[in-house]
Amino acid sequence: MNVLVPYITRWSGEDTAPFRIVARRNGIGYADETLGERDSRGILWTRTPSRHGQGKPVFGQIHGPRQRRAMRNLLCQVCAGPADQSTDGVLWILQDQRADWPGWPNRMGVTEPPICLPCAELSARLCPALRRGRVLVRAGAHPLAGVLGTQYRPRLGTPVKTETGLVTFDSPHIRWTLAAQLFRELDNCTILETP
């Protein structure tokens, strides 16, 4: 039996090796940091090996580097092909949270990459998280806005974890954040029929 495994799903063979975070002059770093562990903005990223397809899929856990690629390039989170786009914007499938605030999902940060229409239909049927209610959303504006990551604060010698959450690129906390995923802020949204 073939199981559909979304592109951004982490596999059991992609476990992260142990690491040690240290305080630097303006934020955090790895004790043994190497070139390429920060992006062009200087943000430190979680070390995650890329062994797509090795082991078993760990549904509900995201592979950071593949999520970043899909978010940066507006690729479908399931098949990694181009996300569906129209004159109304790029397509997302989201858990239905319209009761959260008037105008939802405008101004909402999302870590879920966009999706193509065939994969949206499959996801609506197969994804347990979407069975409780979902909507298709076209976002006319969807700028990259920051990261989802673990924040640290300085403490004598060793930084201490404080919380995990969304941190915008312009936040002073970004240098004290170990980033795991990118997020985009959706705006100019149109809610479509539920698949």
Cα distance between residue 141 and residue 103, in whole Å:
14
Cα distance between residue 61 and residue 66, in whole Å:
12
Cα distance between residue 48 and residue 64, in whole Å:
7
Q: What's the token pair of residue 2?
A: 């073939």
**Residue with the two structure tokens 């856990």:** 61
DSSP string, the chain: ------TTEEEGGGPPPP--EEEETTEEEETT--TTSB-TT--EE------TTSS-EEEEEE-HHHHHHHHHHTB-TTT-SBPPEETTEEEEEEE--TTSSTTTTTTEEE-S----HHHHHHHHHH-GGGTT-EEEEEEEE--EEEEEEEEEE--SSS-EEEEEEEEETT-GGGGGEEEEEEEEEEEEEEE----
Write out the chain's pLDDT in tens, 195 residues.
467 899 999 999 998 878 999 998 889 999 999 988 999 999 999 999 999 989 999 998 999 999 999 999 999 999 999 999 999 999 999 999 998 889 999 999 999 999 999 999 988 888 888 888 899 999 999 999 999 999 999 877 789 999 999 999 999 999 999 999 999 999 999 999 765
Identify the pLDDT of residue 113: 98
Q: What's the token pair of residue 129?
A: 């998280």
